[in-house]
């Protein structure tokens, strides 16, 4: 009994950590841009699949596409007639370095197949950049539209990314190796090293984001935009840059959770959506706007999921999802969200 | 934008809805009668999607977003399917029971979740939607689980069974036409104006007598009924149910239909559902058959079209069509009517009397010992520097905020417990920050002010039993616009008004509720000098017609020119009360304003 219990506990915490990264992605994107991003789970898929192909030594097609997109926007930005000469050169340099980074990591990963961290880097560079592209293509032009329109646009993004994932990688699942094979036995309980890695990296990533948003100017700008868009704009905070940044962070974190989770469930084109949805639930528990409460939320979702799977498996999802209602009611009573965004 | 076609119909904008509904029905009827079988099935599917999506559009217009609308379709479908198949209930009764069950589910879910604010509501409905489809899978012994529920009997009345697919398509589109036309008409009725006001600002809606919580619930239930109707018809058409068509994807697809088509109008949902089906058909024919590409390319192209259309027209296809579509408004009536207070006050009676009120926010004493009154046929000005407590006094006077000490009497009684009862007391107000419905015409914004005097509800709004009441309301709205001299702008969308004009529209909206006491919160802010003079003469005319006014204002000249008495506040305390001349000379007042 005790070993079953601790097995479920570890399983739940591992799931919780993955959902946590997802919830964090959703929260960062929602607070800064007001996009309830239905496409979030696709970055999980893309992260895992591009990691798999980088690891196998083939050039990651996603990196190429993303670099092309970045280049197109770079041309437009450099051609901006409001820019002075020095600013133009600065923009050109930054964009070139960025594009070079995405391509270089992808090339390096294909030159040294099997090098784990190089593949991670290539995958994250591609997906995070894809996030900024998504923002510039689909959010920036309609940033004033009502949130429900932004939501439906993100459904469109989901369709494109989902279809693209199948076109690039096909429908067959790919097995992905863990960071370190094997695991450790604590008495009767076996813990896969990958579970530990997932939890460790999730904690590191969340801590990193926290430090970033508290300690750096960029992070402060992100927070200010999240609190009050118009106010931030009036204070000279580049709201569009904050939007791009939030999408980069959101996409990167989701991709990270995807490539970490892949060894446990194999990477496939359909893995993203259910994980994205659970991330939604977790984020909802935190009211989508608060990091710490969302963490309690993700652990609750992870644990409930693995325990109810063991107890009454048929009603597992019913329980997980209905749990949201009382917690939302409670959150609404304690600290309601702003009623109007406009 | 002003180059748009402009049709002003003598009756109401509802004529347009009727024509559109009829055209949609005839078009569908022709396809049903002549098209191949495949098209008929498609027609039924599009009709059923439209029906449910229309309800969702109504929700969106009321400012609510549901990501779980398919759950109500599922409720209707499974309840009627199980009743008709397993319990031998006659199909027509089963159909009604299915719709009733959806309504019930809508009422329960609505009652629980509608107090949720902001993005909590879509999240809650998302969760309920997913939980419902998961429950259908899990409850396999009753629902057939993932493998489905087959052999549902056809829809029949007695021995007369509706087995012909074409007839079924006609039935579905008849409902689409009736409810689409009805909902479009509803939008421009008394209830429709309240729904639009609810989205703009619930507190403002309540000032004019709308019970916001109740109306929100009613709208939610109507949306659930339409979804349920769509679900039951689905069950009787396909005679087979499985959880898949009622999952998250279905809910999201309904929302796509609404937004893609245009969420400003119920026929936007029909347009969206039709456009999506047409797009899918075209993609299947070109991408899959002609180019031989996989289904994923279809998905990508569909996504791209969705994104591009919404980036170009965030208001959906409907908003693109609206550019060439005539706009409809209500013409000026021939007769002239009086717009006097509903009840004449007896002389000497105090309409508002505030005595010794104080308000503490925690340790902060915002107000202390304020007393004043507004009598019959009086204009009273409430002035004071910023932070003097004017707004708090104003809110206490209308019962929005309860005082920590002291009493407030409105028409001789304590302020009503519910804000929505204020207007029945003969009190109306304007707002410091203009709260009008930007997407409606000036005339409609003013007409909303008469909400409390009307009786007609949802049904009469949908099916046109409110003609006389509407005619009277619009006659009053025209009169109110003439009084504030804005009748030339009656057909303009309120979003195009300048600040000063918008404030006067608020005054007209308050006037049409025929108040005995009118509370104006900084009505002159943003007005030009000429407009201010007009405002002063307007206030004098109102007073002569028997309306008393409490005026909170910064503009000293304006206040001194029109009020009978001035109440001066400073730092939360009553500095003095007197006639304008006294106040003007008072040294304490001068000190408070100019600093010593």
**Residue A163 is nearest to which of B113, B140, B303, comparing CB atoms?**
B303
**How far is the C-alpha of B582 from the C-alpha of B596, rounded, in Å?**
19
Structural domain total, chain B: 2
DSSP string for A243-287: HHHHHHHHHHHHHHHHHHHHHHH-B-TTSHHHHHHHHHHHHHHTT
Residue B303 reports pLDDT greater than 90: yes
Question: CB under 8 Å to A236, separation ≥6 — which residues?
Answer: none
Identify the weakest region by mean pLDDT among A80-84, B139-143, B245-249: A80-84
Does the pTM surpass 0.90? The reply is: no
B contacts of A157 (beta carbons < 8 Å) = 303, 307
Domain boundary among B195, B219, B245: B245
User: Hey, which residues 302-321 in chain A have their CB within 8 Å of chain B?
Assistant: 314-318, 321
For B12-38, letters b (16+ CB in 10 Å) and e give bbbebbeebbeebbeebbebbeebeee
Best residue of B66, B253, B296, B316 to probe chain A, by most A CBs closer than 10 Å = B296
Phi–psi pair at A226, nearest 5 degrees: -65, -40
- Confidence at residue B5, expressed as pLDDT on a 0 to 100 scale: 42
CB contact under 8 A, B112 and A141: no
Identify the weakest region by mean pLDDT among A120-134, A182-196, B331-345, B452-466: B331-345
Are B225 and B71 in contact by the 8 Å Cβ rule? The answer is no
Residue B333 is assigned to a structural domain of this protein: no
Question: CB under 8 Å to B484, separation ≥6 — which residues?
Answer: B504, B505, B507, B508, B511, B538
Using DSSP, state whether B351 is helix, strand or coil. strand
Q: What is the CATH topology of the domain spanning A2-45+133-334?
A: ABC transporter involved in vitamin B12 uptake, BtuC (1.10.3470)
ipTM at complex level: 0.88
Residue B406 reports pLDDT greater than 80: yes
Domain boundary among B245, B280, B306: B245
B contacts of A338 (beta carbons < 8 Å) = 117-118
**Residue A163 is nearest to which of B137, B263, B299, comparing CB atoms?**
B299
CB contact under 8 A, A322 and B138: no
**Residues B31-78: tens digit of each pLDDT:** 888 888 888 999 999 999 999 999 999 999 998 889 899 999 999 999
Query: Does residue B128 belong to the interface with chain A, where contact is any CB pair within 8 Å?
Result: yes
Residue B209 reports pLDDT greater than 60: yes
Distance from first CA to last CA of chain A, Å, rounded? Answer: 54
Residue B460 is assigned to a structural domain of this protein: yes
B519 with B370, same domain: the answer is yes
- Tokens standing for residue B106: 């809508």
pLDDT bucket at B4, cuts 50 / 70 / 90:
very low
Residue B270 is assigned to a structural domain of this protein: no
- Confidence at residue B343, expressed as pLDDT on a 0 to 100 scale: 64
A contacts of B53 (beta carbons < 8 Å) = none
pLDDT bucket at B319, cuts 50 / 70 / 90:
confident
Query: Does residue A166 belong to the interface with chain B, where contact is any CB pair within 8 Å?
Result: yes
**Residue B255 is nearest to which of A146, A152, A277, comparing CB atoms?**
A152
B411 with B541, same domain: the answer is yes
Find the CATH number of the domain harbouring B563: 3.40.50.300
Domain residues for the domain of B169 are 6-245
Residue B190 is assigned to a structural domain of this protein: yes
DSSP string for B276-320: HHHHHHHHIIIIIIIS---HHHHHHHHHHHHHHHHHH-TTHHHHH
Are A310 and A3 in contact by the 8 Å Cβ rule? The answer is no
Taking residues B403-417, what's their average pLDDT?
87
**How far is the C-alpha of A6 from the C-alpha of A187, rounded, in Å?**
11
Domain boundary among B192, B215, B245: B245
Domain boundaries defined on chain A: 2-45+133-334
**How far is the C-alpha of B403 from the C-alpha of A109, rounded, in Å?**
70
A contacts of B130 (beta carbons < 8 Å) = 277, 317, 321
**Residue A321 is nearest to which of B60, B131, B294, comparing CB atoms?**
B131
B354 with B240, same domain: the answer is no
- Confidence at residue B562, expressed as pLDDT on a 0 to 100 scale: 85
- Confidence at residue A341, expressed as pLDDT on a 0 to 100 scale: 39
- Confidence at residue A339, expressed as pLDDT on a 0 to 100 scale: 43
Residue B128 is assigned to a structural domain of this protein: yes
Are A257 and A47 in contact by the 8 Å Cβ rule? The answer is yes
- Picking from B51, B52, B32, B54, the residue whose alpha carbon sits closest to that of residue B43 is B32
**How far is the C-alpha of B596 from the C-alpha of B588, rounded, in Å?**
9
Residue B596 reports pLDDT greater than 70: no
Chain A closest-CA separation from residue B445 CA (Å): 19
Q: What is the mean pLDDT of chain B?
A: 86
Using DSSP, state whether A317 is helix, strand or coil. helix
- H or E element that contains B227: helix B212-238
Taking residues B563-580, what's their average pLDDT?
84
Question: Over pLDDT 90: what percentage of chain B?
Answer: 34
**Residue A328 is nearest to which of B116, B304, B307, comparing CB atoms?**
B116
Bigger pLDDT: B427 or A227?
B427
Q: For helices B212-238 and B37-61, what crossing angle results, to 10°?
A: 170
pLDDT bucket at B529, cuts 50 / 70 / 90:
confident
Query: Does residue B135 belong to the interface with chain A, where contact is any CB pair within 8 Å?
Result: yes
Are A336 and B117 in contact by the 8 Å Cβ rule? The answer is yes
B355 with B221, same domain: the answer is no
Instruction: Tell me which chain B residue has its CA closest to the CA of residue A145.
Output: B314
The pLDDT tens digits along chain A (342 residues) read 667 778 888 888 888 888 888 888 888 898 888 888 989 999 999 999 999 988 888 888 889 999 999 999 988 888 887 878 888 888 889 889 999 999 999 999 888 888 889 999 999 999 999 999 999 999 999 887 888 899 999 999 999 999 999 888 888 888 888 888 888 887 777 888 888 888 898 889 888 888 888 888 888 888 888 777 777 777 777 788 889 999 999 999 999 999 988 888 888 888 888 888 888 777 776 655 566 666 777 777 778 777 766 665 667 778 777 877 887 888 777 766 654 333
Residue B306 is assigned to a structural domain of this protein: no
């Amino acid at each position: 009994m005790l070993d079953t219990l601790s097995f479920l506990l570890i399983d739940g915490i591992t799931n919780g950590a993955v959902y946590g990264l997802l919830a964090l992605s959703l929260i960062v994107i929602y607070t800064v841009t007001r996009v309830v991003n239905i496409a979030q789970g696709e970055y999980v898929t893309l992260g895992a699949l591009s990691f798999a192909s980088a690891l196998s030594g083939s050039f990651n097609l996603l990196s190429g596409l993303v670099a092309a997109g970045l280049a197109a926007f770079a041309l437009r930005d450099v051609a901006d007639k409001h820019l002075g000469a020095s600013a133009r050169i600065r923009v050109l340099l930054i964009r070139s370095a960025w594009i070079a980074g995405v391509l270089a990591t992808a090339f390096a990963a294909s030159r040294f197949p099997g090098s784990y961290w190089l593949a991670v880097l290539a995958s994250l560079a591609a997906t995070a950049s894809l996030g900024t592209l998504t923002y510039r293509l689909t959010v920036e032009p309609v940033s004033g539209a009502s949130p429900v329109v932004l939501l439906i646009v993100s459904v469109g993004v989901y369709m494109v990314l989902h279809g693209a994932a199948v076109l690039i990688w096909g429908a067959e699942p790919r097995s992905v190796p863990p960071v370190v094979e094997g695991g450790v036995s604590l008495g009767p309980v076996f813990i896969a090293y990958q579970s530990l890695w997932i939890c460790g990296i999730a904690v590191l990533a969340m801590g990193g984001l926290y430090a970033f948003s508290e300690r750096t100017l960029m992070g402060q700008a992100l927070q200010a935009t999240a609190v009050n868009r118009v106010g931030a704009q009036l204070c000279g905070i580049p709201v569009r840059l904050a939007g791009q940044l939030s999408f980069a962070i959101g996409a990167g974190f989701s991709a990270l959770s995807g490539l970490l989770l892949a060894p446990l469930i194999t990477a496939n084109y359909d893995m993203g959506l259910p994980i994205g949805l659970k991330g939604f639930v977790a984020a909802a528990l935190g009211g989508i706007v608060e990091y710490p409460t969302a963490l309690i939320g993700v652990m609750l979702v992870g644990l409930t999921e693995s325990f109810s799977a063991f107890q009454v498996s048929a009603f597992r999802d019913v329980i997980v999802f209905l749990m949201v209602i009382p917690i939302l009611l409670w959150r609404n009573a304690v600290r309601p969200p702003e009623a109007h965004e406009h | 934008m002003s180059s748009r076609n402009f049709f002003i119909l003598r009756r109401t904008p509802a004529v347009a809805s009727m024509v559109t509904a009829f055209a949609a029905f005839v078009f569908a009827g022709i396809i049903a009668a002549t098209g191949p079988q495949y098209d008929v099935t498609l027609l039924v599917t599009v009709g059923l999607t439209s029906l449910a999506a229309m309800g969702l559009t109504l929700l969106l217009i009321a400012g609510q977003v549901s990501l779980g609308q398919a759950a109500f379709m599922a409720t209707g479908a499974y309840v009627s399917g199980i009743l008709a198949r397993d319990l031998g209930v006659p199909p027509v009764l089963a159909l009604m029971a299915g719709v009733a069950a959806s309504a019930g589910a809508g009422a329960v879910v609505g009652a629980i979740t509608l107090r949720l604010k902001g993005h909590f509501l879509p999240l809650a409905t998302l969760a309920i939607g997913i939980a419902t489809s998961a429950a259908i899978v899990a409850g396999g012994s009753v629902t057939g689980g993932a493998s489905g529920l087959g052999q549902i009997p056809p829809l029949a009345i007695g021995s007369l069974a509706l087995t012909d697919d074409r007839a079924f398509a006609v039935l579905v589109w008849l409902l689409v036409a009736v409810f689409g036309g009805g909902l479009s008409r509803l939008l421009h009725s008394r209830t429709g104006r309240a729904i639009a006001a609810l989205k703009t600002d619930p507190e403002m809606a309540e000032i004019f007598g709308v019970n916001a919580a109740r109306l929100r619930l009613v709208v939610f239930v109507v949306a659930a009924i339409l979804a349920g109707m769509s679900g039951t018809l689905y069950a009787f058409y396909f005679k087979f149910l499985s959880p898949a068509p009622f999952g998250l994807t279905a809910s999201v697809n309904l929302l796509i239909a609404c937004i893609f088509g245009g969420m400003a109008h119920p026929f936007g949902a029909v347009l969206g559902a039709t456009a999506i089906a047409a797009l899918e058909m075209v993609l299947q024919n070109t991408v899959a058959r002609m180019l031989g590409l996989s289904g994923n390319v279809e998905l990508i192209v569909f996504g791209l079209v969705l994104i591009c259309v919404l980036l170009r027209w965030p208001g959906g296809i409907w908003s693109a069509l609206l550019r060439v579509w005539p706009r409809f408004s209500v013409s000026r009536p021939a007769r002239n009517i009086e717009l006097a207070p509903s009840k004449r006050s007896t002389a000497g009676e105090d309409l508002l009397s505030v005595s010794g009120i104080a308000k503490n926010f925690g340790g902060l004493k915002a107000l202390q010992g304020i007393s004043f009154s507004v009598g019959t046929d009086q204009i009273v000005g409430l002035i004071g520097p910023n932070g003097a407590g004017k707004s708090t006094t104003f809110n206490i006077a209308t019962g929005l905020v309860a005082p920590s000490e002291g009493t407030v009497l409105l028409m001789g009684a304590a302020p009503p417990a519910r804000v929505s009862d204020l207007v029945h007391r003969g009190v109306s107000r304007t707002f410091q920050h203009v709260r009008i419905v930007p997407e409606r015409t000036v005339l409609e914004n003013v007409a909303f002010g008469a909400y409390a005097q009307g009786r007609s509800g949802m049904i009469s709004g949908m099916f046109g039993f409110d003609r006389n009441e509407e005619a009277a309301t619009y006659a009053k709205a025209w009169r109110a616009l003439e009084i504030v001299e804005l009748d030339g702008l009656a057909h303009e969308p309120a979003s195009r008004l300048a600040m000063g004009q918008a404030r006067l529209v608020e005054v007209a909206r308050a006037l049409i509720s025929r108040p005995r006491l009118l509370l104006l919160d900084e009505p002159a802010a943003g007005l030009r000098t000429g407009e201010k003079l007009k405002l002063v003469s307007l206030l004098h005319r109102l007073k002569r017609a028997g309306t008393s006014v409490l005026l909170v204002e910064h503009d000293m000249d304006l206040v001194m020119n029109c009020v009978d008495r001035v109440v001066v506040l400073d730092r939360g305390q009553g500095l003095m009360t007197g006639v304008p001349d006294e106040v003007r000379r008072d040294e304490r007042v001068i000190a408070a304003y100019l600093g010593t």
